[in-house]
Amino acid sequence: MLESVFCVKLTRTSVQTSGLEHSKPHMITQDLPGSIDWVRAPTRGLDGLTPINQGFQVIRYAGTNLSAVTVVDKSETGTGDAVYYSFSLFSLPEDFRQRLVSNTVKWFLRNGVSYVLGEIIHSPQNSVRFLYSSQEAEYGFATGLLTGSMLYSLCSSEQQQSFADNVNSLEITERLVCISGDLGTNYLAKTYNDSGMLPIIIHQDQNKPQSYSLVDKARNLTWIVEPDSCLNHTFLIQAFSDANSAQTCLLATGFFQGWDWAAGICLSRIISGNLRDYCSTYYIFTWQDVNGDLIPQVEFPQEISVLAVG
């Protein structure tokens, strides 16, 4: 009897259960109810499986801790994605079966923050371009450089690095591009924003320079950002593809005089250690400087929180 494959091992045989239950929120479980009863009893005993290696459980058999749907996430492994169903799909009601399969396909085709960040971390040498803020920027240079260099430190191989004022877009030929800095300090961030190519478009209020509108045109949503001195800040992390160059990009940017370095801390300390939880295309975060030390805290106190996801 085969007792294990690369992501699961057999721990029980002939499991008796009424159906499935969510184990955790995940793209694969989106819009599915928390529990699903069998519409047709399994014709043979179900294998009771436990994730191993880099597999993790997203759906379990009802009333057990045994895995029914096990996932391996490429962003974490640097190798490949896998989804393992340990039951017959025909045991599920048709609408739930179709939703589960549709979600799984969408997950395989995802191009969100965690996927792109995982690609950047695991890419071979010189296949990623890090584009930092312009050296001429009065406020944003240091924090844009800090944000990008935090990510660079996670890379498994040496990659290309440039300042925005030392390279033009035609010289950027790498498949992956990591852009750090705000629209005023990184020309490529501004170019993509002005072209409407970003999932979230940033508009600055000309009559109120410290007020920004963050617009998701696809979902007809808008958030107004008005930084409050040094107490409250907003930063944005988004992944997108450039249809003209076939490049995939990750943009980390903030608002209000270079406080975007909170994005670097969030990416390097929070998202990189929990890649499976950040599959969406963009995340808008807020940083509330609770203790007033001007340093984003990710443990105690926890000062960074999610404002919006899309």
Class of residue 201 by CB neighbours under 10 A (exposed 0-12, middle 13-18, buried 19+) = middle
CB 261 within 8 A of CB 146: yes
Domain ranges of the chain: 8-109, 115-309
Both structure tokens of 230: 């040094």
**pLDDT score for 230:** 57
Helix (H, G, I), strand (E, B) or coil at 252: strand
Query: What's the pLDDT at 278?
Result: 95
Per CATH, the number for 115-309 is 3.30.379
pLDDT tens for 117-170 read 999 999 999 999 999 988 776 655 677 788 889 999 999 999 999 998 888 878
Burial call 31-65: b when 16+ CB within 10 Å, e when fewer: ebeeebebeeeeeeebbbbbbeebbbbbbbbbeee
The helix or strand, by DSSP H or E, that contains position 98, with its residue range, turns out to be helix 94-108
Q: Low-confidence residues of the chain, pLDDT below 70?
A: 1-5, 137-141, 227-231, 256-259
Confidence (pTM): 0.89
272 phi and psi angles, rounded to 5 deg: -60, -25
Q: What per-residue confidence (pLDDT) applies to 139?
A: 59
**CA-CA distance, 186 to 4, in Å (whole number)?**
49
Q: E strands along the chain, which residues? A: 8-15, 19-22, 35-37, 46-51, 55-61, 67-72, 82-85, 128-132, 160-163, 176-180, 201-204, 212-216, 221-225, 232-242, 247-254, 282-288, 304-309
Burial of residue 11 (CB within 10 Å: 0-12, 13-18, 19+) is middle
